[in-house]
Amino acid sequence: MAKDCSEPDLDRELEDLPRDLRWREWMRRIEAVLFASASPVPREDLALVVGQGASIDLLVDDLAADLEGRAFEIAEVTGGWMFRTRAAYAPAIRAAADVGEQVLDLNEFDVAVLAAIAYHQPITRDGLKDIFGKEISRDLIGRLHARGLISTGPRAPKRGAPYTFVTTEQFLVAFGLESLRDLPDREQLEDAGVSAA
């Protein structure tokens, strides 16, 4: 999210308000920033709208508690926070809302390739071929890249220095992960019928 520190009229400390009203106002400011942002908002950006003594973690926790029972929640993703619709409401959204480009529309093999990239990154097309026993089409790689789920990584230290593939921040956001450490264990995937190879 773009930062504009030139807002001179923003009273961050709110010292003229009683403590409980000050806290509530800081929560509402964080809510407004998260609502307006299409991507996760890092702690440093949220700190720009509250007083110096305010704990961002506690404010976010209190805001999350306020949202309990609502159709959306605050999710911690890639080092920041964002609003996300609760999974239980996905069918209602698909039925009534225009979410065209937001739907990933990945088939089982696409997800398997994406999982292999996530677990083995940086990985080359040859590395993917070794995992799946067949060539991975440029078209599939192009679709994953166009959706912002993967990008090119460092060149592999082998003959010809082929490009590698890595997952992106958009991948983490799309799958609701804070970091790659939040990927399920491979055994969990296999139990669910998905292979990360």
**Domains, the chain, with CATH or none:** 19-89 (1.10.10.10), 104-191 (1.10.10.10)
Give me the pLDDT at residue 2, please: 52
> What one-character DSSP code corresponds to residue 8?
T
Give me the pLDDT at residue 134, please: 93
Alpha helix (H) residue ranges in 81-124: 90-96, 108-120
- Residue found under tokens 């799958």: 175
Give me the pLDDT at residue 185, please: 81
- State pTM to two decimals: 0.57
**Partners of 83 in the β-ladder:** 74
The length of the chain, given as a count of residues: 197
Count Cβ neighbours within 10 Å for each residue of 60-72 and write b for 16 or more, e otherwise: bebbeeeeeeeee
Say if residues 165 and 150 touch (Cβ distance below 8 Å): yes
**Partners of 53 in the β-ladder:** none
Beta-carbon contacts of 53 under 8 Å, excluding residues fewer than 6 positions away, are none
Give me the pLDDT at residue 5, please: 55
Identity at 48, one-letter amino acid code: L
What are the distances in angstroms from CA 87 to CA 66, 94, 101, 184, 193?
Answer: 18, 11, 18, 18, 21
pLDDT tens for each residue of 149-164 = 999 988 888 888 888 9
Q: What is the pLDDT along the chain (197 residues), one digit of tens a residue?
A: 555 554 668 999 999 999 999 999 999 999 999 999 888 899 999 999 999 889 999 999 999 999 999 998 998 887 899 998 887 887 887 778 655 555 577 888 888 899 899 999 999 999 999 999 999 999 899 889 988 899 998 888 888 888 899 999 888 888 878 888 888 887 766 666 655 55
- Residue found under tokens 């239980």: 88
